[in-house]
């Protein structure tokens, strides 16, 4: 068995790519527009995973590259839930820097990294994203140490 990807439906491609790309730093590795099915698939991977990936030399995605697939259906739909999906989780090199970058583009930090180890945010489509500090937790630091939770995650 081999993990391929996790899929989340998005209502606004630009908002989703701003969040996952500009905010989280994921890189687009493949895009498929399907005119007949009226949808677009956008595959994203973490930069370190892309760097380690064993590409086949012909532009195909490597086996075992952990990805998320953003599915955008061209005909508008109202997606409810988000939290019932569960969450996506990413290990980050600097949780404070990652949360600051997300906050700077307008993302609410729902569960701040008060412990220097874990935070939760939500994508524009309500998908819960867990961020975990790589290695040992960072020392508690402001503004995160005294920041209250906001909403749900």
Q: Which are the catalytic amino acids?
A: 130
Peptide bond between residue 112 and the one before it cis (omega within 30 degrees of 0)? no
* Residue 58 CB neighbour total at 10 angstroms: 5
Query: Quick one: how far is CA 113 from the chain centroid?
Result: 17
Query: Quick one: how far is CA 120 from the chain centroid?
Result: 11
Contact 78, 46 (CB under 8 A): no
Query: Quick one: how far is CA 83 from the chain centroid?
Result: 14
Contact 24, 48 (CB under 8 A): no
Expressed in percent and rounded to 5, the helix, strand and coil fractions of the chain are: 20, 30, 50
């Amino acid at each position: 068995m081999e993990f391929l990807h996790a899929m989340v439906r998005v209502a606004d491609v630009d908002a989703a790519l701003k969040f996952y790309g500009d905010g989280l730093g994921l890189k687009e590795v493949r895009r498929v527009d399907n005119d007949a099915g009226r949808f677009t698939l956008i595959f994203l991977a973490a930069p370190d995973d892309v760097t380690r990936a064993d590409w086949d030399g012909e532009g195909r995605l490597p086996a075992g590259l952990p990805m998320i697939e953003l599915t955008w259906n061209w005909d508008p739909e109202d997606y409810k839930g988000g939290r019932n999906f569960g969450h996506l989780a990413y290990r980050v090199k600097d949780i404070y820097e990652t949360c600051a970058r997300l906050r700077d583009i307008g993302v609410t930090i729902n569960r701040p990294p008060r412990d220097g180890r874990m935070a939760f945010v939500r994508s524009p489509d309500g998908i819960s994203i867990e961020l975990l500090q790589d290695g040992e937790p960072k020392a508690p630091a402001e503004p995160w140490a005294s920041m209250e939770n906001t909403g749900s995650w």
